[in-house]
Amino acid sequence: MLPIQISDVEFQIVQKLLFKEVGISLSDTKKKMVQSRLEKRLRFHNISNYSDYLKIVQISQAEKTEFLNELSTNETYFFREEKHFEFLESLAQKSTNMRVWSAAASMGAEAYSIAMVLDSNIPNKKWEVVGTDINTATLNICKQGLYQFSWSSKIPVKYQKKYCLRGSKAHKDKMLIDMGQGASMIFEENNLLETNLTLGQFDVIFLRNVLLYFTDETKIQVINNVLKNLKTGGFLIISLTEHFDDKEIKNIKYLHNAIYQKV
Ligand X SMILES: C[S@@+](CC[C@H](N)C(=O)[O-])C[C@H]1O[C@@H](n2cnc3c(N)ncnc32)[C@H](O)[C@@H]1O
Residues that bind ligand X (CB under 6 A): 22-24, 72-76, 80, 104, 106, 110, 133-135, 138, 190-193, 208-210, 213
Nearer to ligand X, 19 or 97 (CB): 19
Q: How far apart are CB 170 and ligand X at their closest, in Å?
A: 29
Nearer to ligand X, 96 or 215 (CB): 215
Q: How far apart are CB 148 and ligand X at their closest, in Å?
A: 15
Residue 141: in which H helix or E strand, if any? helix 136-144
Nearer to ligand X, 74 or 184 (CB): 74
Burial 51-67 (b: 16+ CB within 10 A, else e): eebbebbeeeeebebbb
Q: Is 19 helix (H, G, I), strand (E, B) or coil?
A: helix
Altogether, the residues listed in the chain come to a count of 263
Nearer to ligand X, 93 or 257 (CB): 257
Percent helix, percent strand, percent coil in the chain, to nearest 5: 50, 20, 30
Q: How far apart are CB 96 and ligand X at their closest, in Å?
A: 27
Q: How far apart are CB 167 and ligand X at their closest, in Å?
A: 23
Q: Under 8 Å CB-to-CB from 226, ≥6 apart: which residues? A: 101, 103, 192, 205, 207, 236
**CB neighbourhood size of 167 (10 A):** 13
Q: How far apart are CB 206 and ligand X at their closest, in Å?
A: 6
Nearer to ligand X, 73 or 97 (CB): 73
* CA nearest to 17, candidates 71, 82, 83: 71
In sign, the C-alpha dihedral spanning 188, 191, 192, 195 is negative
